[in-house]
Structures are given as structure tokens and as C-alpha cells.
Amino acid sequence: MDAVYVPLKFHLSDDEAWDVVADVGAATLVRATAHGLDSAFAPVIVSDNRLALYSHLAKANPWWRDVESGAEVLALFTAASAYVSPLDYPSRDENPDLVPTWNYILVQVRGRVHVREELEWKLHQVRELTHQFEVGHEPEWLVDDMDPDFRSTQLKAIVGLEIEVVSIEGKAKLSQNRPEIDRVNVQAAFTRGTPAQQIVAQKMKATPHDDS
């Protein structure tokens, strides 16, 4: 599988890419099968040393069933995504030869997947997962507050996934390659736009630009 095409202006450092992974919290998992590519969407947490991703799927999901231990997998995290019209570029008055594009933030983690079916492993994974995403909830919902029999039934209905991280690549394409007048106008238009566009506008505002 090829690496993400990342021009230097759009490159994210590893730390920035991992911040995106933590912020998004769920990934599209892609693997090759005998019948072609297959994907699944799943919540993800990252090990403290960033050497592994931990996730789970419903056992009813066929994605995991014929996975060989150590098979290559991609985990794709999209933090922002919106179409950009040339009409949002004021510079078109001087240079009408423009085309549409897309602004987005994407991180690709390449790894090797292992299926985990041990109940204790799955219990630890869902504890850590819910603890991470319950932050800010008062009170916090706890896995250990569940009825033990019901919890056991639920754990038996999922399968764990441990992904050894091989590499991480991040890209933030947020109009950094456009003149300042265009970037400002795209951001303003997105601020007034759809929820997806507003997310891109927030990311654009937080992204430094270098016109040198």
C-alpha cells in the first residue's frame, strides 16, 4: 500500500498527527482480502508509547473473520473535509485559471493487526475507551457499573483488535498554498457554511501560514 502524498506545506509532524488521531477517536480500517479491499469503522485508542492502536468490532462484522495475525492494515482518521469552490478565491479576478479543490485533515496509520478474543483484554479495552471519551461527562459512565452478567454478554459479542504501529503520516490541506486574500475568504465563507465547512474553518484558523 502506498504512502499518503504530502507536499511539504501540508505535512504534519508525528506529534501533530497523533493529536489528530486522539481528537478524531475512530478510524476507517482498511485491509486486503482474497476478494479485494475491505473496510470497517471502529473506535480507537492509542497505547501510551504510541506503538499500538486498540479497537474492537462486533463479532457479527465479517471484517475480522479471516484476518491472519500480522496482516497489514491502514487506519484512516479524517478530522475535517470540505469542497472549495474557485468562486471563493478573490484572486480569480487577476487569475481566472483556477479549479476547485478540497480542504481536509487526514492521518494514515499503517500497522499490523492481531485479533484478540480474551475477555480480560476486551474488558480492559472498553474500560480505557469509555474512560477516554467520557471525559467531561458528569457523572462519568463506567463499564464497571454495568450488571456483570450483561457486561459479560456484551464482551462476548465483540472481538478485539490490536494494531502494531508501523508508521504514521499526516496531512492538513487548508489553503496554505493560496494567497492570503484567498485563504481569508475561504475561511470566512466556511465559517458561515455547513457544519462540515465550519469545522474546516476552525482548523484553518488554528493553522499557521507561511507566505515566504
Residue 45 lies in a domain: yes
Residue 156 lies in a domain: yes
As given in the structure block, the three cell numbers for residue 135 are: 471525559
Residue 170 lies in a domain: yes
Residue 210 lies in a domain: no
pLDDT of residue 210: 61
pLDDT digits (tens, 9 = 90+) for 172-189: 999 999 999 999 999 999
Look up the pTM and report it.
Answer: 0.91
Each residue's pLDDT expressed in tens, for the chain with a length of 212 residues: 556 777 888 999 999 999 999 999 999 999 999 889 999 999 999 999 999 999 999 999 999 999 999 999 999 999 999 999 999 999 988 888 899 999 999 999 999 999 999 999 999 999 999 999 998 889 999 999 999 999 999 999 999 999 999 999 999 999 999 999 999 999 999 999 999 999 999 999 988 766 54
CB of 20 closer than 8 Å to CB of 105: yes
Residue 211 lies in a domain: no
Distance of alpha carbon 98 from the chain centroid:
30
CB of 29 closer than 8 Å to CB of 74: yes
Residue 78 lies in a domain: yes
pLDDT of residue 85: 96
Residue 129 lies in a domain: yes
- Any idea what the Cα angle at residue 170 is, between residues 100 and 206, rounded to 5°? 70
Taking residue 162's Cβ as centre, other Cβ atoms within 10 Å add up to 19
Residue 198 lies in a domain: yes
CATH number at residue 16: 2.30.110.10
What domain range includes position 55? 8-203
Nearest residue to 110 via CA among 46, 66, 163, 33: 163
Following DSSP, what letter does each residue of the chain receive, concatenated? -PPPP--GGGEE-HHHHHHHHHHH-EEEEEEEETTEEEEEEEEEEE-TTSSEEEEEEETT-GGGTTPPTTEEEEEEEEEEEEEE-GGG-GGGGT------EEEEEEEEEEEEEEEE--HHHHHHHHHHHHHHHTTT-SSPP-GGGS-HHHHHHHHHTEEEEEEEEEEEEEEEESSTTS-HHHHHHHHHHHHTS-HHHHHHHHHHHTS-----
Domain count, the chain: 1
